[in-house]
Structure formats: structure tokens, C-alpha cells
């Protein structure tokens, strides 16, 4: 149980900043309340936070890929030639 408790503390210290708004309430309980919970409750909280991070990463990746397409369309419409990685490194 000490290992699970330490994991709860580590994750709690990272905070909810990288999570989606729907997952931020997972941090509404104090660390003391989470630590006083039984092992099953702590494991469930850890799992919920980790899944929240996965959802946030998936959302970020989807948003980035959709923005790539939009940037490309805008560049084509404006007639802008995008710089290659080599040109950016030379600068």
C-alpha cells in the first residue's frame, strides 16, 4: 500500500494542468483524503488520472493534425511556400 500511496503523491504533485477540463475534478479531493482511502480507491484514482492524461494527449494529437491540414490549405491559398526543416535550421 505504501507504493500505491507514493504513486498517488507523485501524480498529485504533477497536478491537473495537462488534463482536459472534464478530468480536472479528479484533483478536487485533498491529498490527505486520497491517501486515507483504501488501496482500491487509490488505484482507481491513479487509473482515472492516467486515462485522463491519455485522453488529453489524444485530443492534443488530433488538434495538431487537424491544424497541419488547415495550415497547409491556408499556405496554398496565400501562395506561401513553407520552409523545409533544413531552411529553418540554417536560420
Domain that holds residue 29: 2-80
- For residues 58, 63, 65, 66, the Cα torsion angle rounded to the nearest 10 degrees is 140
Number of domains in the chain: 1
In a domain, 85, yes or no: no
pLDDT at 90: 64
Give SS3 for 29: coil
Give SS3 for 54: helix
Contacts of 63 (CB under 8 A, 6+ apart): none
Average the pLDDT over 11-40 and give the result: 95
Residue 64 scores a pLDDT above 90: no
Q: What pLDDT digit, counting tens, does each position of 35-53 carry?
A: 999 999 999 999 999 999 9
Global confidence as pTM:
0.70
CA of residue 44 relative to chain centroid, distance: 18
Whole-number Å distance between alpha carbons of 24 and 65: 24
In a domain, 75, yes or no: yes
Amino acid at each position: 500500500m505504501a507504493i500505491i500511496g507514493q504513486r498517488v503523491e507523485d501524480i498529485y504533485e504533477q497536478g491537473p494542468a495537462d488534463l482536459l477540463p472534464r478530468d480536472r475534478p479528479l484533483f478536487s479531493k485533498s491529498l490527505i483524503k486520497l491517501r486515507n482511502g483504501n488501496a482500491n480507491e487509490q488505484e482507481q484514482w491513479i487509473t482515472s488520472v492516467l486515462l485522463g492524461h491519455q485522453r488529453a494527449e489524444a485530443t492534443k494529437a488530433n488538434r495538431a493534425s487537424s491544424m497541419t491540414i488547415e495550415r497547409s490549405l491556408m499556405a496554398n491559398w496565400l501562395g506561401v511556400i513553407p520552409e523545409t526543416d533544413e531552411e529553418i535550421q540554417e536560420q
